[in-house]
Amino acid sequence: MHKTVFLETFGCQMNVVDSERIIALLAEIGYRQVDQAELADLVLLNTCSVRDKAERKVYGHLGRFKPIKDARPDLIIGVGGCVAQQEGERMLEQVPYLDLVFGTHNVHRLPELVQQAEKKAGRGSETDFLDRETRLNLFPQRSVTDSITRFVTVMQGCDNFCSYCIVPYVRGREISRPSDEIITEIRGLVAQGVREVTLLGQNVNSYGLKEDGEISFAELLRRVDAIDGLERLRFATSHPKDMSDELIDCFGALRTLCHHIHLPVQCGSNRILAAMNRGYLREDYLAKVDRLYRVCPQIRLTTDIIVGFPGETEEDFADTLDLVEQVGYADAFTFLYSPRTGTAAAKLKDDLDPAVRQQRFDRLLAVQQKKSEEIWNRDLDCELTVLVEGESKQGDGQLFGRTTWNRIVNFAGPTDLIGQMAQVRITRVFRNSHLGELVS
């Protein structure tokens, strides 16, 4: 008899990759994934602490599992990811029905913790950070896949310490994987039918900078691009200060590199950028965007922006609006500043009126929404190349794929197109996706 696990994942792509690993590790000790907590022997949350809202969600979700555990005391409940890393054993104290806690460097210990809980041998918490060597050896290896697209982690951790950000504290120091190992993994994935890879890292374009004798990120892209059978290459997330000219020029030169980059700017005011410890000026950022448009005129950019950083004035905010207008982002993920305990910014005087902060957020959103609509509507009636990834989640026999700009397109077509490049005419533009029809 199989045991069953229900796993919910929050936060960024790092957690998505870790969750895949969690499922693979648990399969080795007899667990099969189910999609309802009510049906599970083991319930896990893979958590995010980047903003207060994300963190509070974890406690909300745990509360949902309590009645299930009351009815079935053998149910095992565990928490992993960034909140687990931050809170550690304190979580066991605060949540009496929680059985285990595992941190961001301890995914590999999960089977042991689960087996300990199965034997009722005590509640466990593992949140120690590991040394470089151990972490490098634990990098997820090539796994069996039937997917068309795949994330490949090339570096982990972050040493940037942007003043508002919890990530360096919950993910630890930056390490980069050996490039030959990455190439071998991607070759193996392509041999299994993967057509698109996204190179992943907290700060992906600082790849290799801290390893003796490692190649540059741009060189890594060139080597991946040369792999036969790979159709598309993406990477996320990039830090503007590490956007070298060599890297930017790849967008004009590489066959597989998609014409999209997510390049978080955070803010358009030099004063606030300095307070955020971002390591660039707005002029530097705009010069890089300029070069991107020059080497690849059809490129589309997306970004992250924080509104209401401590001390942000109306003038600072106007600089952000101005930068957003100048760049013309296809999409922007906008966040209200959320103080994170232990970060440098949390100690700053913060007397911004919450109503003003919210108004700025709404103003930015309005400006961006107009721009997004304008950009995505350009696709209407165009014939675009789509990498077909699978059957659409809406059911109804539709397929879905993405354009080079990472935009989802749903359209009717035969399933043998999955894994192929298809030409699709865009017939409708929605907020987050396109509808199209196959051009035969």
Binding site for ligand F3S (CB under 6 A): 11-12, 14-15, 48-50, 81-82, 166-167, 170-171
Q: Is 203 in the site for ligand SAH (CB under 6 A)?
A: yes
Residue 337 interacting partner from ligand SF4, ligand SAH, ligand F3S, none (CB closer than 5 to 8 Å by kind): ligand SAH
Q: Is 340 in the site for ligand SF4 (CB under 6 A)?
A: no
Dig out the tokens for 391 from the structure.
Answer: 């059957």
Q: Is 239 in the site for ligand SAH (CB under 6 A)?
A: yes
Q: Is 161 in the site for ligand SF4 (CB under 6 A)?
A: yes
Q: How far apart, in Å, do the first and last CA atoms of the chain sit?
A: 48
Q: In terms of DSSP bridges, do strands 260-262 and 300-307 run parallel, antiparallel, or are they unpaired?
A: parallel
Phi, psi values for residue 23, rounded to 5°: -65, -40
Least distance in Å: CB of 307 to ligand SAH? 8
For residue 368, give the nearest of 430, 323, 309, 427 by alpha carbon: 323
Number of shown-chain residues binding ligand SAH (CB under 6 A): 17
Residue 14 interacting partner from ligand SF4, ligand SAH, ligand F3S, none (CB closer than 5 to 8 Å by kind): ligand F3S
Q: Is 158 in the site for ligand SF4 (CB under 6 A)?
A: yes
Residue 11 interacting partner from ligand SF4, ligand F3S, ligand SAH, none (CB closer than 5 to 8 Å by kind): ligand F3S
CB atoms within 10 A of CB 89: 13
Own/partner contacts of 404-407, CB < 8 Å, gap of 24 or more, are 404/232, 404/258, 404/259, 404/260, 405/258, 405/259, 405/260, 405/300, 405/330, 406/234, 406/258, 406/260, 406/302, 407/376, 407/379, 407/433, 407/434
Among the candidate windows 68-76, 127-135, 160-168, 184-192, which touches ligand SF4 by CB under 6 A? 160-168
For residue 269, give the nearest of 324, 222, 207 by alpha carbon: 324
Least distance in Å: CB of 327 to ligand F3S? 23
Work out which of 244, 270, 338, 359 binds ligand SAH, going by CB under 6 A. 338
Q: Point out which residues bind ligand SAH (CB under 6 A).
A: 50-51, 164-165, 167, 202-203, 237, 239, 264, 266, 304, 306, 335, 337-338, 340
